[in-house]
Amino acid sequence: MAFGITRRRVIMAVVALVVVGVAATVGMRVTKKPGDGGALAKDAPVALAFAPGDVTYVEAQPLARWLPVSGTLQPVRQAIVKAKVAGDVLQVTVREGETVKTGQLLARIDTNDLEAKYVDRVGALESAKAQLALAEKTRAMNVRLLNDKFISQNAFDNTESSFNVAKGSVKSAEAQLQLAQNALKDASAYSPLAGIVAKKHVQPGEKVAIEAPLITVVDLKDLEVQAMVPAIDVPELRIGMPVEFAVDGFGEPRFTGRVERINPSTEPGTRAILVYVGLPNLDLALRSGMFATGRIALAASAPTPTLPVTAVRTEAGQNFVWTIDKGKLARRMVALGRRDEVSGRVEVKTKLPAGVPIIAAKLDNLKDGLPAIVKAPSSSQNAESGKARSAS
């Protein structure tokens, strides 16, 4: 019995040693690479390889600078035709949107009262002239009597004074008659400029007072934008600078104006100055009151560190770039400055290591610390770049 137990234990021990040996052999085969001298292969990540076109570098370049402006389009020439006399509106000859010429009749006010006043002034003038004629005869007769010593100098002076009064009355009556004539003429309102009727303020039959608005006429051939510009930017502005405009409803910028005037003082309560930008509108495509946004090209800045806009990422309101530093991806936060929409570059205020590749391609799932390399240009790419350099 004891011999049987001892033999069984020996057999079990031998089996255990065989199992351990087999396991060790299999483990060595799994953890070793052929020909690596026994180096461990612990799921090492494969390095990301980027083509030369996928990376960029910080370059010092001048940036184009633009000063944004915006405002409502207003006609340079417009007129609100007002009533010069009081009375009932007899006729309005135009409607909104109609084209009018300079001197065209717009409205008429009833002239019955004005005509009656005119007739009264004519009668007053005739009476004053009759009084003057009588005073002139009396004066001529008294001149002879004075020379013959039949009347005193004092009596002649009274006659002379009456003559002068009559002459003044005639002048006053003539002036009153002229006013009556002007009132009759002013009862008809005419357009002071060629343009389009923007608003009709009255209707026939309404009673209007002096200076009441009748018709508004605008000339749309020349429009103007009054833009508020920060005072700090005004020294760089000059009369005649071109301005590109985009107008609501017309899509991309397609209108060009120029700086016409610059206000000499800031607006009350602000540190901004009004800049008046003229915008030709010969085809009358634009309308008064439309909103326009534009930009004024300023002198280019001095060369400054820049990157392509595509190289900058934004996450949670923070800007960053992916760099390849010492064979690994590194995420670096950056502060940005001015942006040049024309060249597609942006100023980088954060100092980055010189000559470090920066990922320019829009790639996802990049992680900090991943191995990364930039592949060397192929021979065909080198040849093409050499041809480009020789051609330049």
Among 71-80, 189-198, 302-311, name the one with the lowest average pLDDT: 302-311
Q: Is the domain of 267 the same as that of 328?
A: no
If one compares 27 and 316, the residue with the highest pLDDT of the two is: 316
Which pLDDT score, from 0 to 100, does residue 44 have? 56
Q: Is the domain of 129 the same as that of 179?
A: yes
> Does pTM top 0.85 for this prediction?
no
What band does 389 get if pLDDT is binned at 50, 70 and 90?
A: very low
Which pLDDT score, from 0 to 100, does residue 279 have? 92
CATH number at residue 122: 1.10.287.470
Would 162 be classed as within a structural domain? yes
Would 191 be classed as within a structural domain? no
Asked if pLDDT for residue 104 goes beyond 50, the answer is yes
Average pLDDT score over residue span 183-193: 93
Q: At 93, list the tokens.
A: 């000859």
Average pLDDT score over residue span 98-102: 96
Q: What is the pLDDT of residues 7-21, one digit of tens each?
A: 555 445 444 444 334
Q: What is the pLDDT of residues 247-275, one digit of tens each?
A: 988 877 689 999 999 999 988 888 899 99
Q: What is each CA distance from 290 to 135, 249, 250, 287, in whole angstroms?
A: 69, 9, 11, 6
Which pLDDT score, from 0 to 100, does residue 18 have? 41
Among 186, 204, 233, where does a domain finish? 186
If one compares 271 and 45, the residue with the highest pLDDT of the two is: 271
Average pLDDT score over residue span 26-52: 54
Average pLDDT score over residue span 113-119: 90
Would 360 be classed as within a structural domain? yes
Q: What is each CA distance from 112 to 53, 176, 179, 230, in whole angstroms?
A: 88, 17, 16, 57
Cα–Cα distance measured from residue 314 to residue 319, given in angstroms and rounded to the nearest whole number: 4
Would you state the torsion angle of the CA atoms of residues 360, 363, 366, 369, taken in this order, to the nearest 10 degrees? -30
Q: Is the domain of 309 the same as that of 294?
A: no
Q: Is the domain of 230 the same as that of 179?
A: no
Which pLDDT score, from 0 to 100, does residue 250 have? 87
CATH number at residue 247: 2.40.30.170
Given a contact cutoff of 8 angstroms between Cβ atoms, the answer to whether 56 and 308 are in contact is yes
Would 246 be classed as within a structural domain? yes
Report the range out of 185-199, 343-357, 361-375 with the highest average pLDDT. 185-199
Number of domain units in the chain: 3
Cα–Cα distance measured from residue 76 to residue 225, given in angstroms and rounded to the nearest whole number: 9
Q: Is the domain of 336 the same as that of 353?
A: yes
What's the chain look like in SS3?
CHHHHHHHHHHHHHHHHHHHHHHHHHHHHHHECCCCCCCECCCCCCCEEECHHHEECCEEECCCEEEEEEEEEEEEEEEEEECCCCEEEEEECCCCCCEECCCCEEEEECCHHHHHHHHHHHHHHHHHHHHHHHHHHHHHHHHHHHHCCCCCHHHHHHHHHHHHHHHHHHHHHHHHHHHHHHHHHHCEEECCCCEEEEEECCCCCCEECCCCEEEEEEEEEEEEEEEEEEHHHHHHCCCCCEEEEEECCCCCCCEEEEEEEEEEEECCCCCEEEEEEEEECCCCCCCCCCEEEEEEEECCCCCEEEEEHHHCEEECCEEEEEEEECCEEEEEECCEEEEECCCCEEEECCCCCCCCCEECCCCCCCCCCCEEEECCCCHHHHHHHHHHHHHC
Domain that holds residue 291: 70-75+216-298
Mean confidence (pLDDT) of the chain: 82
Given a contact cutoff of 8 angstroms between Cβ atoms, the answer to whether 184 and 111 are in contact is yes
Among 133, 165, 186, where does a domain finish? 186
Q: Is the domain of 155 the same as that of 122?
A: yes
What band does 50 get if pLDDT is binned at 50, 70 and 90?
A: confident
Residues comprising the chain, all counted? 392
Asked if pLDDT for residue 65 goes beyond 50, the answer is yes
Would 124 be classed as within a structural domain? yes
Q: Is the domain of 322 the same as that of 267?
A: no
Asked if pLDDT for residue 33 goes beyond 80, the answer is no
Q: What is the pLDDT of residues 158-173, one digit of tens each?
A: 888 888 988 899 999 9
Q: Is the domain of 270 the same as that of 308?
A: no
Cα–Cα distance measured from residue 183 to residue 119, given in angstroms and rounded to the nearest whole number: 13
Which pLDDT score, from 0 to 100, does residue 3 have? 39
Among 298, 326, 341, where does a domain finish? 298
Asked if pLDDT for residue 332 goes beyond 60, the answer is yes
Q: What is the pLDDT of residues 170-181, one digit of tens each?
A: 999 999 999 999
Would 175 be classed as within a structural domain? yes
* Residues 6 or more apart in contact with residue 121 via CB below 8 angstroms: 173, 176, 177, 179, 180
Q: Is the domain of 288 the same as that of 222?
A: yes
Q: Which amino acid is at 327?
A: G
If one compares 363 and 183, the residue with the highest pLDDT of the two is: 183
Q: Is the domain of 362 the same as that of 306?
A: yes
Would 101 be classed as within a structural domain? no
Average pLDDT score over residue span 118-139: 90
Q: Is the domain of 283 the same as that of 251?
A: yes
Would 391 be classed as within a structural domain? no
Q: Which amino acid is at 208?
A: V
Q: Is the domain of 283 the same as that of 307?
A: no
The answer to whether the Cα torsion of 324, 325, 329, 332 is positive or negative is negative
Which pLDDT score, from 0 to 100, does residue 391 have? 36
Q: 46: number of CA atoms within 13 Å, CB side?
A: 3
Asked if pLDDT for residue 280 goes beyond 80, the answer is yes
